[in-house]
Structure 1
């Protein structure tokens, strides 16, 4: 059986890579995404890549780690994640999950490949969220499909442009990895809210700001993310921007260029500079 509803592939092609779009999948009964397997995965991953955070944070500052004597895998195995947000980061390190993600992206290749070329840097994240969990406003510098496995949630997306995200925030991410964004009540009506139940999936465009709110039951979601040649060039150019300013040259701003325009020269300059030790 296909992992993706075949009708969702041409539907994704209509949205990808610029606009969010809903898909359907057949992963809700996948054993690797059940709580027993996820508890095993949590123990197999490096401990620092299994995060437990506040589930009711109103902003990025409050979305802090929770220190506990027990391993998060214990709560996952018991099925009682009632007061935390747990993330398994980089789960593609485990061979069975890597194979699953490669199957998923192979089925979606007819929609992805013609627009952005072959996928690279595939990563996987599993989110196990207590009822009512609020994930604050933030962005991810990657292409992302979130697959809802259990429970339900509202996932609100915003355009990857000012006022929701600006050049300074994008540069800060590529320097320090910080992806939280400032929230304004004025933004509330501007987002597009996607209601996800098991079997639903959502494509989230590169760097699209978003917030997430889980429903009344524990939620399990899988995010499969990837890069392409252009997105890697954009990341290199953003990293190089402070250097360009210091020598009096203009910074690269993705919001000022079309998706067809990529900063190949700047990306190459960064790579050469790193190779010879200048950057």
Structure 2
């Protein structure tokens, strides 16, 4: 396949179902605990979020570093990660030289996979995230605005992934609001677990989490867990996202639009309408800025 992924990746299933496959990044110097100890302090502080090791699937994942701070510095957290019950999430590390080559390789390989599947000519908004966690730490139930490849680099975990576009798992209105960049809200209910597809996950393995699929993670007890996520949008997921944003606007007007994902033609119309509305808004804002004062 390439530098990052093995040849066992079933590209036809992208964004249709979760699946596990092999990656080829074990031993990459930027992705060891020693390499991370050097690079993470160089990143802007707002990109490196750390907290206590989480144990409740209902915690608001987006606010964990605020609501559940571990009382230590980043350096202390990294040095004691095996025993301190801590969790580190790193957003967009690719600006650091240690990750730039890896980021370029991931972008190229995922673009090739999308073209192979006939889903997208390109990928959009590609991003890297890193997760370093103490044994037994958990990632609470949540969903993302992107498609995701999650690669395990050290330790083990169980990943539970839920079907996307399911109103009984993530209500459409909540998903639309999140796509419109509103804050996430805790969604976990114990009865949801019967819908989960659970993967036991060890170093050298990767998993595809489809666009907006709810998921949670439980790290194994034997070692520190290091994993990396590569998030991206495709032509298809961008169309879904814009259609959801359009639905969100319609709901604010008191309307009840049809769910996104049920009709490709309807999603395309909504996506186009959202793009036109944004374009008109930019024109109006520019016009207001150019209007003479007084």
Q: Do the structures match in fold with TM over 0.5?
A: yes
Distance 1:253 1:98, change over 3 A: farther
Q: 1:40: how far off? A: 2.4
Q: Secondary structure at the match of 1:164?
A: coil
- Once the two structures are TM-superposed, the CA of residue 23 in structure 1 deviates from its matched residue by 1.4
Secondary structure in structure 1 of the residue aligned to 2:38: helix
2:162·2:195 contact (CA, 8 Å) conserved in 1? yes
In structure 2, how many angstroms separate the alpha carbons of the residues matched to 1:56 and 1:237?
Answer: 34
- TM-score w.r.t. the length of structure 1 is 0.87
Compare CA radii of gyration and give the structure with the larger one. Answer: 2
CA distance in 2, matches of 1:162, 1:224: 26
The answer to whether the aligner puts 1:116 opposite 2:120 as a matched pair is: yes
Which consecutive residues of structure 1, in runs of 5 or more, have no partner in the other structure?
Answer: none
**Residue of structure 1 in register with 2:240 after alignment:** 234
Partner of 2:32: 34
Equivalent pairs counted in the alignment come to 276
Task: From the superposition, tell whether residues 191 and 203 of structure 1 become closer, same or farther in structure 2 (CA, over 3 Å).
Answer: same
* Alpha-carbon distance in structure 1 between the residues aligned to 2:200 and 2:70: 32
Partners of 2:214 and 2:265 in 1: how far apart? Answer: 17
Select between 174-183 and 154-163 the one with higher mean Cα deviation.
174-183
3-state SS in 1 of match to 2:183: coil
Q: Which runs of 5+ in 2 are unaligned?
A: 286-294
Q: 1:252 to 1:46 in 2, by over 3 A?
A: farther
70 and 55 in structure 1: CA distance in 2 versus 1, 3 angstrom threshold? closer
1:13 aligns to 2:2 (yes or no): no
98-107 or 174-183, larger mean C-alpha shift? 174-183
RMSD after superposition: 2.6
| 266-275 or 130-139: bigger deviation | 266-275
User: Which runs of structure 2 are paired with 1:1-279 in the superposition (5 Å)?
Assistant: 2-8=2-8, 11-61=9-59, 64-65=64-65, 66-67=68-69, 70-77=72-79, 80=82, 82-113=84-115, 114-160=118-164, 161-216=166-221, 217-246=223-252, 251=257, 253-258=259-264, 261-262=267-268, 263-277=270-284
Structure 1 range deviating more: 203-212 or 167-176: 167-176
User: Residue by residue, what CA displacement relative to the aligned partner does 1:149-180 show, whole Å, maximum 9, x if unpaired?
Assistant: 00000001001112111112112213344345
Higher mean Cα deviation, 105-114 or 59-68? Answer: 59-68
Q: In structure 2, do the counterparts of structure 1 residues 81 and 170 end up closer, same or farther at CA, with 3 Å as the change threshold?
A: farther
Distance 1:124 1:5, change over 3 A: closer
TM-score (norm 2): 0.83
Contact 2:243/2:267, CA 8 A, preserved across alignment: no
| Separation in 2, partners of 1:72, 1:41 | 12
The CA distance in 2 between the partners of 1:237 and 1:162, in whole Å, is 16
The Cα offsets for residues 123-148 of structure 1, whole Å up to 9 and x where unpaired, read as 11000011111111110010100000
1:52-107 deviations in Å (ceiling 9; x for gaps): 12323313436532445643234325654631111111112224423312212323
Alpha-carbon distance in 2 for matches of 1:223, 1:69: 26
Displacement of 1:29 in angstroms is 0.4
